[in-house]
Every structure is written in structure tokens, then in C-alpha cells.
Amino acid sequence: MNMKVVSLVSIGAHPTSGRSRRAEQDSRAVELGLQLAGDNLQVVHAGDVREPALRAYLGMGLDQMDVIEQTPGSDVVPALADFLHDVGAQLVLTGSQAETGEGSGMLPFLLAERLGWPLVTGLAEVESVSNGVAQVLQALPRGQRRRLKVRLPLLATVDNAAPKARQSAYGPAQRGQFQVDKVEIVIDDLYTGAELTPAKPRPKRLKVIKAKSGADRMKAATAKASGGGGQVLKGVSAQEGAQAILKVLVEEGVVR
């Protein structure tokens, strides 16, 4: 495919240890870009060039990565938009949500709005490109796919439906080079003025039986309860009934 493909990457974090790594979805964006453009793929990161995790992307077979120098708390949208415009990008791939920082998932939408490009979320595959129009497959829930035709230039986000990223090799990771671009830094006042706190765990959901057929639903409806801890309340007041229900919800972790 003869088009300019750019993959945007960020710094990820291991879900258990929190150590920096290549981001899972961003690495899939690089993998998809390599399948489409090969050695002509351009990978871009907006941030600190000294971040060691960036070399994990180079280890996927890249000779070079462009790094737009940005400081923590800066708004990277203007810098990325100017860069993509200058290099003549036609297809831009990125993950759907960052693993570190704000992680709001809004960057692709804000970037597409600033560029005036269409945005496709959940890109699974680019089937063909002809006469400036890309035919792509969009991932939908439950394994479904939707075929779309979108005019280039195009910005697309990928998630776990995209091809799995190849292993990062140590040798290429050390041989790869960084091309640093110094641009004007725009401070994100909304982000710097906010107070970040750890997310609270979501309440435990009650068990929901998922049955595919009518026979399965009938079986689930007529099956005897597996637990023997049930209680039937008869002849109690509304206050006593409410307290009993609240007690069960607290025990199940639905109410804290």
C-alpha cells in the first residue's frame, strides 16, 4: 500500500508491578502499521526521549523513532497535529487509551477534531486502499465485524481486536535511533490543575446467568439454588425486610 502510515505510541505500565513498558494497544498499532507499510512505517512518541521503555518499540524492528519533546503536564495535541500535517500522514494508528498519565482516551478524538479527519475506533484490519479510500474492518462486541469505507486521511484507534504485537528483540532495540524534534510546549491547564487520585474498585456485581438458548434459560430458571444460605422472610415489617436486603448487599460487596 503506497501511503504514509504513522503509529503514535505512549509509555505503558505493567498492571501488577506498575513498571514502565511498551503499551499493549500502542504496540498493536505498531504491529498493524508494520504489516501495512513495512520499513516505511513512521513511529512517533510525544514525551521524554530518555524513557527506557521506548526502546521496546524499536525492538519490534524499527530503525528509527521520532520523539516530539514534551514535558509532563503539556498538551500534546497541537504538537502532534503539526507534526502529522508536516510529514503528510494519510493513516494514523494509535491505541484507544493510555496506560499512564490521564488515560482518558480522549486524545484520538481531540486530534482528529483538530486535523479535521474522520476517526474509526476499534480498527481490526485494513483490507485495502484504493483511490484514496480505505476499506477497513471495525471490531464490534461479541466478535462481530463491520466493514467500512473511509476516505483518507484517516485516524484510527486499535484495541485487543487488532493483530497481537510481535516480540521485542534486544539487539534491534539497542541499535535503533531516536530523532528528537523540539517544538513549542503548550501547558494543559486543565490537567495540571486537577488532583489525581487512585481509582476506587468498582462494586462487586451480582452473578448473572448468561444462557444462549431457550433450553438453557429454562434450565437456569428451574435449577435448585446451589447454596443453602437463603432466607425467606414472612410476616416481617418493611423496615426489617429492608435491613435484611441491605445486609445481603453488604455481604456481596455491592454496597460498601
pLDDT in tens, 130-161: 999 999 999 988 788 999 999 999 999 998 88
Coil vs helix vs strand at 96: coil
Task: State how far the Cα of 256 lies from the Cα of 249, in Å rounded to an integer.
Answer: 9
Between 221 and 123, residue with greater pLDDT: 123
CB 9 within 8 A of CB 23: yes
Domains of the chain: 5-192 (3.40.50.620), 200-223+231-256 (no CATH)
Cis peptide before 15 (omega within 30 of 0): no
Range 176-201 average pLDDT: 81
How many beta carbons lie within 10 A of that of residue 86, not counting itself? 9
Judged against a pLDDT cut of 90, whether residue 87 lies above it is answered with yes
Looking at every residue in the chain, the average pLDDT score rounds to 88
**Three-state DSSP class for residue 171:** helix
**Separation of alpha carbons 27 and 158, rounded Å:** 10
In the sheet that 133-139 helps form, which strands lie side by side, from edge to edge?
Answer: 145-151, 133-139, 119-130, 154-158, 91-95, 5-9, 42-47, 64-69, 177-181
What percent of the chain clears pLDDT 70, i.e. is strictly above it?
Answer: 89
**Residue 237, amino acid:** S
If one counts every other C-beta atom within 10 angstroms of the C-beta of residue 172, the result is: 15
223: pLDDT confidence band, cut at 50, 70 and 90? low
List alpha helices for 88-228, DSSP H: 107-115, 170-175, 189-192, 214-222
Map residue 82 onto helix, strand or coil.
Answer: helix
Full-model pTM: 0.74
